A = this chain, B = another copy of it.
Amino acid sequence: MTCVGILMGSDSDWKIMEEAAEILKTMGVDYEIEVISAHRTPAKASDYALNAKDRGIKVIIAGAGMAAHLAGVLAAHTVLPVIGVPIASGPLHGQDALLSTVQMPPGIPVATVGINGAKNAGILACEIISLGDEELRQKLLDYRQDMARKVAEKSRQVQESHGKE
């Protein structure tokens, strides 16, 4: 059953947002993808958020650049957790998107990750879902261990390349 919606304001955001999809696939969490613009398709945005719960969605991930309103607009229409991914596009390198996403007014939170942080958005979605899914929780713990192993491996490689093992 599809339990994560990955939304983005423009198809050009896909090259970043794809990392969220990849981590969900790795973790065995089913997801769907939509390009929905808070400004160009506002009705779709509110409809998506209003119906998400009934369609089985548990977490919504929303990526957008510039005056990034998408995550906030979705959050305004649902009490499901909404994760915002500020996308670095245009001359301000995502500083506009970060502030537009994270500085939500009291009452309507957006769980914001770093600029272009789609991978972390995917992991955060898994962490949330894993509260009710022990198997997923174990996968997250394994993934952590795997990351630690890779860091140690990289450490040896740098040492070797510099003759400092």
Which size class do A's interface residues fall under?
A: 35 or more
Q: Contact between A127 and B155 (Cβ–Cβ < 8 Å)?
A: no
Residues A151 and B113 in contact in the complex (CB < 8 Å), given A11-B158, A94-B91, A132-B131: no
In whole Å, how far is A125's beta carbon from the nearest beta carbon of chain B? 9
Contact present for A58 and B92 (CB under 8 Å): no
Residues in B with CB closer than 8 Å to A127 are 79-81, 109
**What is A's interface to B at a CB cutoff of 8 Å?**
8-11, 14, 18, 21, 31-44, 46, 58, 65-67, 69, 72-73, 75-77, 79-81, 83, 88, 90-96, 98-117, 119-121, 123-124, 127-132, 137, 140-141, 143-144, 147-148, 151-152, 154-155, 157-159, 162, 164
